[in-house]
Amino acid sequence: MRELPSQPTIDALYGLEPVFEPDGPESLQVTEFVAIQCPYCGERFETAVDLSAGSFSYVEDCQVCCQPIELVGDVDDDGALAGVRANRGT
């Protein structure tokens, strides 16, 4: 009886990307809670950031003083959060 080729061999043969299994051991955490400090009032609070699209930049209002905060985040090649900066919004 002939042995079937492995999944990585089939992927390489046909130029396919590896299959992502949501519950698999290599599943990525796409949302993470981070503590930031408001650049206006100085209060610290937690907010959720989305890591699914890589590095990001968006504006979110401070949960305490409601001023606009630009959150800039760096995501490494493994999909892990490398850092977040909170700047005064424009």
CB atoms within 10 A of CB 8: 10
The answer to whether position 52 is within a domain reads yes
Residue 5 lies in a domain: no
pLDDT tens across the length of the chain (90 residues): 788 888 888 888 888 876 666 666 555 568 899 999 999 999 999 999 988 888 999 999 999 999 999 999 999 888 889 999 999 976
DSSP 8-state code for residue 80: -
> What distance in Å separates the CA atoms of residue 14 and residue 47, rounded to the nearest whole number?
42
The answer to the question of residue 13 being in a domain is no
- Residues with Cβ within 8 Å of 83's Cβ and at least 6 positions away in sequence, in order, are 73, 74
Q: Is residue 68 part of a domain?
A: yes
Does residue 76 belong to any structural domain of this protein? yes
The domain containing residue 57 runs over which residues? 23-88
Task: Please indicate, yes or no, if residue 56 is contained in any of the structural domains.
Answer: yes
- Structural domain tally of the chain? 1
pTM across the whole model: 0.63
- The answer to whether position 69 is within a domain reads yes
Half-sphere exposure of 82 (CA within 13 A, CB side): 11
Instruction: Please indicate, yes or no, if residue 36 is contained in any of the structural domains.
Output: yes
| CB burial of residue 60 (10 Å; 0-12, 13-18, 19+) | middle
